[in-house]
């Protein structure tokens, strides 16, 4: 059975960085992209970027370019997302998801609160 | 880049049919995936590739697409169907290929 288990809630001040882990199990880690999606309060789902565990190639889009770092540790089948230069607008629940496609399996979500 | 548009809300009485639309340019030629998200939970796929129903999703949930509109249909709506629903496509033609979500539709069961 596939599982994606994320690290716990975080609180950060504006300008800081936050790193979230996504431990996967139950499938071939190198055979599926890992995507990162967030949902801010009162907003919809927002796609942030993806990483390919096969070749470790990752990218992000839009406002996340240059601010988002996606990494992997294949030895422990874990993906990481690090978001830099946080603002209040980054307060959200962050998800990792395995791509079949579609985004078939999701982590439980990690709440990041940006607060002074 | 490709844009998909959903109505913010749909309201349906129990037992009736809810239709949630997802508009996009020639969307009928794209694979559309639909996710249900209940409060405090992660999204769950309810329809993949426009009309395929994953195992565990009831037959009263269906998907279709024509022209510029894809539709998620929930027949015999139940209280447990209250949730946010998001359509999703893949945009390979953007400067960087990307997942595109609709803004989401809140289904309210009256």
Shortest distance, CA B63 to any CA of chain A (angstroms): 15
Cα gap B88→B3, rounded to integer Å: 10
Q: Got the DSSP string for A37-89?
A: EEE-TT--EEEEEEEETTTTEEEE-GGGTTTEEEEEEGGGTEEEEEE-S--GG
CB contact under 8 A, B43 and A104: no
Shortest distance, CA B34 to any CA of chain A (angstroms): 9
Predicted confidence band at A42 (pLDDT cuts at 50, 70, 90)? very high
Cα gap A23→A7, rounded to integer Å: 8
Predicted confidence band at A28 (pLDDT cuts at 50, 70, 90)? very high
CB contact under 8 A, A44 and B84: yes
What separation, in Å, do the N-terminal and C-terminal C-alpha atoms of chain B show? 36
CB contact under 8 A, B99 and A46: no
Q: Which residue of B has its CA nearest to A49?
A: B98
Cα gap B86→B29, rounded to integer Å: 18
CB A20 within 8 A of CB A109: no
The pLDDT assigned to B96 comes to 87
The pLDDT assigned to B93 comes to 83
B41: CB partners within 8 A, 6+ apart: none
CB B109 within 8 A of CB B12: yes
pLDDT digits (tens, 9 = 90+) for A47-103: 999 999 999 999 998 899 999 999 999 999 999 999 999 999 999 999 999 999 999
A25, A116, A34: which is closest to A81 by C-alpha?
A: A34
């Amino acid at each position: 059975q596939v599982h994606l288990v994320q690290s716990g809630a975080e609180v950060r001040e504006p300008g800081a960085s936050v790193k979230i882990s996504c431990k996967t199990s139950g499938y071939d880690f190198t055979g599926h992209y890992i995507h990162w999606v967030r949902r801010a309060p009162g907003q919809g789902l927002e796609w942030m970027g993806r990483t390919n565990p096969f070749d470790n190639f990752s990218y992000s889009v839009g406002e996340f370019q240059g601010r988002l770092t996606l990494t992997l540790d294949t030895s422990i089948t874990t993906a990481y997302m690090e978001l830099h230069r946080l603002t209040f607008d980054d307060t959200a629940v962050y998800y990792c998801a395995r791509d079949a496609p579609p985004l078939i399996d999701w982590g439980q979500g990690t709440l990041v609160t940006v607060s002074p | 880049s490709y844009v998909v548009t959903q109505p913010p809300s749909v309201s349906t009485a129990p037992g009736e049919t809810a239709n949630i639309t997802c508009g996009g340019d020639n969307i009928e030629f794209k694979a559309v995936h639909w996710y249900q998200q209940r409060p405090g939970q992660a999204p769950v796929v309810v329809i993949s590739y426009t009309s395929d129903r994953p195992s565990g999703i009831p037959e009263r949930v269906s998907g279709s697409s024509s022209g510029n509109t894809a539709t998620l249909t929930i027949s015999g709506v139940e209280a447990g169907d209250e949730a946010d629903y998001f359509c999703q496509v893949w945009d390979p033609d953007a400067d960087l290929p990307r997942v595109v979500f609709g803004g989401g539709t809140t289904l309210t069961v009256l």
